[in-house]
Amino acid sequence: MQLLLSILSSAIGAELGVAYVGLKGNSHSFWKEICNAYGSFCHHLAATSIMAIISDIALLLLVWLSYYTLLKKIARR
């Protein structure tokens, strides 16, 4: 489960990097911001970011819950 959590967190980081470049652009590589031209793109990216962060938090809570139940079973022995 930790592997899945780390993969999901790194995917969220990559997605937020793309969102930032779409919002602000990158002057070093001459990429212009595209949120001014394609407003729906930024709305979709914002919704995707929020849903990804919510899923990451839910998975983190599930990992903590599984650790807690395993520790309870080990301590009972």
Q: With a cut of 80, say whether residue 62 has pLDDT above it.
A: yes
The share of the chain scoring above pLDDT 90, in percent, equals 22
Q: Are 19 and 34 in contact (CB under 8 A)?
A: no
Q: Are 19 and 49 in contact (CB under 8 A)?
A: yes
Q: With a cut of 90, say whether residue 65 has pLDDT above it.
A: yes
Q: With a cut of 80, say whether residue 34 has pLDDT above it.
A: no
The Cα 42–Cα 19 span in angstroms is 7
Considering the chain, what is the average pLDDT of its residues? 84
Provide the pLDDT for residue 15.
86
